[in-house]
Structure 1
């Protein structure tokens, strides 16, 4: 007859110390170092109270019929070296707190129904020698932190999940094995899929694909401004910078100003990125009221540029290539530190 899980309650262990009752047994909170119950016909959920057994170094519950989620309290078991929950019916996400188990040498969560992303904290388990996550429903991208532990692994099985490329630099497709990528990004190579689009971004054709090169330019604006007095937060994503208009997966308008039209509470500073010239579909560019110091020489390559607003910065010169902007109708450069204008204007 299968044993149903008995939720923990106060009890006295055989050694006379305070205990908790699990699966019909009383385990000493102070002195229990291992629970070895493989293939024991256990059912029900793993209780949160298992996290009270802080001296536990082995928890082996494989080949049972345990259900529910892995309890968050598992992260309290700092002395655990062996955790094996293989071949149960566990669901939900792998707890982020599993990264607290820095003494783990073996972790087996294979053959369950776990879902969600692999937690980045898994990369903190630098003593790990064996990692089995295969045959679950894990999705998203594999965190690059996995590379912190991969080089020490003797066994690594992660196949038969729903993990999406690109994979971390330390893994090949052979290492990752078969993955169901049906729900992965539908964007072509060179384009990034962004599902959580900020309100400050207007996508005229409702696409979720964005040209990665255009996003990289926006990232350079963020990076170049970090030495300024009031930079955009370094954690800001490129798609979150200022206000943007996209169409056909390309950046059409970019507005980033402490005054009209965006009234942001941070400033761009330093050089406008040289890569600005790669924004070949850009039509309107508002960068007024910042602390920008220079304009790239290749700005004349922005053949579709119609409006350029650079007023209220610290720009000292204008490159002659600006005369190549044949579609430019509006150019504002007031309140800067110019000493001359190029002949091409």
Structure 2
């Protein structure tokens, strides 16, 4: 899905190229292609006025300076609309649109092929345009706290993406194409309505942080066991009921949160996660822990509040982990 530039866009490129003689050349090209210069001027004015009103950018000459802008920060400006003329900002690398009232990202966003960061968190988006897949230089896409109901399959084209943040939306599924994000190291889909994860998530070989907390997962996704580089795994507030024995395969985990997941037991293989330094198991139905948890020499914090643990079991746990801060709520031991 490659974008083909219109005659009008080609002329705007000349006008925004940063050279005085480009103005005269642009006019000549416009005349030869029978493009209405008045129409071009209107687009230029819309873009210039929008940037001038909502940013601190200053332009001695609109034709010579817009061209050079690489970072545009429009966060917290009470914006409701992004003009389609944004397509002319082809040199922008960071577009920050957080904390506004934007309902739609125009399809023309696909023209900004140099973008490496796009932040549209805390807006009113319900969809992302398919053209998001044209932004193949993106390393960060932040769409937290919107009203997204789906992620377009074109997301799979973002092969340089390292961080994908989709927390606090209304997603019921993720596209299978998410497995194509070979550079992804941080995926967060917290507080959505996901009942399962696509099996293809196993292909995210560089993933180190995964947050799927506050969703509707009823089983621990087996595909996660394939993510050998995981350091942080957050699955709290899902009705999982069980932690699989294979959890011991994730040897690089340093942070594991399984709080409020209706667990009744913990497999002894938890003791093989030798890099763990924080383990949260609060709000479950645990009456005991396996003695193998005492093998976790690097464990610094163990969260166990709101579990039916007897006094004797708490004494056992403390004897197994004498240097760990064990939290039982108001009461804690160290």
For normalisation by structure 1, the TM-score amounts to 0.42
Higher helix fraction (1 or 2): 2
Structure with bigger gyration radius: 1
